[in-house]
């Protein structure tokens, strides 16, 4: 979700409480992307990292800090709603996760067991081209060539 003009909560009993000493001149957060799942390009990482040096205080609301306050410091990011590609439900059968067209139905979903996690990583790795396998640090890090599966760490 993209949040606009969301109040900075100053009530100490609130889960999202921010002390008055932090950002004292502000009553609202800048526009930011909120949620339990974010996708961004590797190109954004050094930009956000550089912007972080301009904020000297620890801001406890990670979404507002990372995708609001840092972006406000001349980092250009486009927020895109991906709700239709995320499921908060467990996927019951990894074998059926890949739909008829051969693609994963969702980019994010809950997995109920380590075995299902390994099976889904294997399904995904089998879809990688040889170029993707060669250039993927995840493939190299997690692939167990003897078992031909991904290892959950």
* pLDDT digits 0-9 by tens, 85-144: 666 666 656 566 655 456 666 666 677 778 877 777 777 777 777 887 777 665 555 554
Tell me the C-alpha to C-alpha distance, in Å, between residue 131 and each of 102, 127, 137.
19, 11, 12
Clarify whether residues 123 and 138 are in a common domain: yes
State how far the Cα of 141 lies from the Cα of 98, in Å rounded to an integer. Answer: 23
In 3D, which of 118, 92, 115 has the Cα closest to residue 106? 92
Clarify whether residues 12 and 59 are in a common domain: yes
Tell me the C-alpha to C-alpha distance, in Å, between residue 17 and each of 5, 13, 22.
16, 7, 11
Share of the chain above pLDDT 70, in %: 71
Clarify whether residues 48 and 107 are in a common domain: no
Residue-level pLDDT at 7 = 97
More confident position, 139 or 84: 84
Clarify whether residues 22 and 74 are in a common domain: yes
What would the two tokens of residue 148 be?
């031909």
Residue-level pLDDT at 76 = 85
Q: What is the pTM of this model?
A: 0.61
State how far the Cα of 151 lies from the Cα of 153, in Å rounded to an integer. Answer: 6
Share of the chain above pLDDT 90, in %: 35
Q: Is the pLDDT of residue 3 over 60?
A: yes
End-to-end CA separation in angstroms for the chain: 30
What's the whole-number mean pLDDT along residues 19-41?
89
Clarify whether residues 52 and 87 are in a common domain: no
What's the whole-number mean pLDDT along residues 67-85?
85
Clarify whether residues 71 and 11 are in a common domain: yes
More confident position, 33 or 96: 33
Clarify whether residues 114 and 68 are in a common domain: no
Average pLDDT, the chain: 78
Write down which residue in 40, 55, 81 finishes a domain: 81
For residue 38, what are the contacts with CB-CB under 8 A and spacing of at least 6? 67
Write down which residue in 27, 53, 81 finishes a domain: 81
Clarify whether residues 71 and 92 are in a common domain: no
Clarify whether residues 77 and 50 are in a common domain: yes
Full domain range(s) for residue 30: 1-81
pLDDT tier, 153 (very low <50, low <70, confident <90, very high otherwise): very low
């Amino acid at each position: 979700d993209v949040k606009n003009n969301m109040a900075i909560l100053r009530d100490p009993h609130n889960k999202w409480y921010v002390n008055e000493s932090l950002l004292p001149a502000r009553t609202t957060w800048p526009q930011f992307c909120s949620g339990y799942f974010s996708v961004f390009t590797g190109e954004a990482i050094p930009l956000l990292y550089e912007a972080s040096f301009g904020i000297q205080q620890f801001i406890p609301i990670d979404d507002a800090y990372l995708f609001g306050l840092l972006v406000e410091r001349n980092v250009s990011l486009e927020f895109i709603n991906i709700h239709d590609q995320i499921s908060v439900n467990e996927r019951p059968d990894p074998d059926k996760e890949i739909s008829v067209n051969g693609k994963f139905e969702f980019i994010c979903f809950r997995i109920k067991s380590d075995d299902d996690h390994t099976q889904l990583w294997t399904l995904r790795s089998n879809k990688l081209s040889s170029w993707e396998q060669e250039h993927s640090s995840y493939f190299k890090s997690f692939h167990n060539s003897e078992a031909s599966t991904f290892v959950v760490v």
